[in-house]
């Protein structure tokens, strides 16, 4: 089974969309996404600097749009499609669109709502997120609890993302758990924690107004790594996920249980392939960062050479 995976917030970099706009029809598609999400995604993905695209209400639509552009580009190149899909955090919206649960238009409208609501929630208290890489998991969790930080992402491969107030994150970086290192993430809030409860309610109201079909390929949820066959359930889980931990570690364990034979990460790619190298050792993986990577992704789907 080849599984398509879609990254979350923090994976964006300045100018990363520029090569994708060289594909026929991509600019027109991105213009439509911009209108649906309420963000100028062409400018954001080609001109704006790192600080500007770090803004939650910009970053989230930008990441979903990039994933859908690269997904469509692979579909135009190869008739073969991944048999499974999963997204990390906001990447779950991309995954639901790729799986046919949501239309692309609804996915972009919802990510616009999600980004704005989470930005508003983050503005109430100065918070952020940092990855803790390495160390003994129990010791890491105890250190986070002592600092009143939340383990917001269990990413597998020895990585846990801590979320909470900036002073506490600074203390964590100054004295990391033994054998670990702390890396600040390019996000502007403590996502997947109690700080996001208000955003859940806003997104739930918006999600109630869209249609949700059952997924066509196998679809995983971040809530507990299980597969979801009902579209409305998948959307409800995605909404609740805004204020609860991302269990990517359990998703990867479930990939193995389902006989994964390859991973394709869509733009802006790299982070999830990096986790797969540690959590899914020996499984071939392709990061589709630019259109030049599409041939390798198509080859993985068909069992050929890139």
- pLDDT of 216 above 90: yes
- Alpha-carbon distance values, 211 to 14, 34, 205 (Å): 34, 21, 13
Q: Is the dihedral of CA 226, 229, 233, 235 positive or negative?
A: positive
- pLDDT of 304 above 70: no
- pLDDT of 60 above 90: yes
Res 305: pLDDT: 43
Q: Of the listed 26, 130, 192, 244, which one is catalytic?
A: 192
- pLDDT of 137 above 70: yes
Is residue 215 within 8 A of residue 101, CB to CB? The reply is yes
For the beta sheet containing 84-87, the strands, ordered from the edge strand earlier in sequence to the opposite edge, are 218-219, 84-87, 2-6, 262-265, 285-287
Q: Residue 95: count other Cβ atoms within 10 Å of its Cβ.
A: 31
- Alpha-carbon distance values, 232 to 194, 210, 239 (Å): 24, 10, 11
Q: Of the listed 11, 89, 180, 223, which one is catalytic?
A: 89
- pLDDT of 139 above 70: yes
User: Radius of gyration (Cα) for the chain, nearest Å?
Assistant: 18
pTM of the predicted model as reported, rounded to 2 decimal places: 0.91
- pLDDT of 248 above 50: yes
Parse the chain into domains and list their residue ranges. 2-122+193-302, 127-184
> Domain 2-122+193-302 maps to which CATH number in 3.40.366.10, 3.40.1380.10, 3.20.20.140, 2.40.50.140?
3.40.366.10
89 catalytic? Reply is: yes
Res 232: pLDDT: 97
Q: Tens of pLDDT along 170-215?
A: 999 999 999 999 999 878 789 999 999 999 999 999 999 999 999 9
- pLDDT of 306 above 50: no
Fold of 127-184: Alpha-Beta Plaits (3.30.70)
């Amino acid at each position: 089974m080849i599984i398509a995976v879609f990254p979350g917030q923090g994976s964006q970099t300045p100018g990363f969309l520029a090569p994708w706009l060289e594909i026929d029809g991509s600019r027109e598609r991105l213009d439509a996404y911009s209108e649906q999400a309420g963000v100028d995604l062409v400018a954001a993905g080609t001109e704006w600097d790192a600080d500007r695209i770090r803004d939650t209400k910009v970053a989230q639509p930008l990441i979903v749009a990039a994933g859908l552009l690269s997904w469509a580009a692979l579909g135009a190149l190869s008739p073969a499609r991944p048999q499974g899909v999963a997204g990390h955090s906001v990447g779950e919206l991309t995954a639901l669109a790729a799986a046919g649960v949501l239309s692309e238009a609804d996915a972009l409208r919802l990510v616009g709502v999600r980004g704005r609501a989470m930005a508003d929630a983050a503005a109430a208290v100065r918070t952020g997120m940092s990855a803790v890489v390495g160390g003994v998991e129990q010791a890491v969790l105890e250190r986070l609890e002592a600092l009143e930080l939340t383990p917001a992402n269990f990413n597998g491969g020895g990585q846990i993302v801590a979320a909470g107030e900036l002073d506490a994150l600074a203390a964590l970086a100054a004295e990391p758990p033994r054998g670990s290192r702390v890396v600040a993430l390019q996000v502007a809030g403590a996502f997947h924690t109690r700080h996001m409860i208000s955003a859940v309610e806003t997104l739930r109201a918006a999600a109630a107004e869209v249609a949700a079909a059952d997924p066509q390929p196998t679809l995983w949820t971040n809530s507990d790594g299980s597969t979801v066959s009902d579209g409305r359930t998948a959307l409800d889980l995605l909404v609740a996920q805004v204020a609860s931990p991302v269990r990517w570690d359990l998703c990867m364990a479930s990939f193995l249980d389902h006989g994964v034979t390859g991973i394709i990460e869509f733009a802006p790619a790299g982070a999830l392939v990096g986790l797969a190298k540690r959590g899914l050792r020996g499984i071939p993986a392709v990061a589709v960062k630019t259109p030049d990577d599409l041939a390798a992704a198509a080859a993985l789907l068909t069992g050929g050479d890139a």
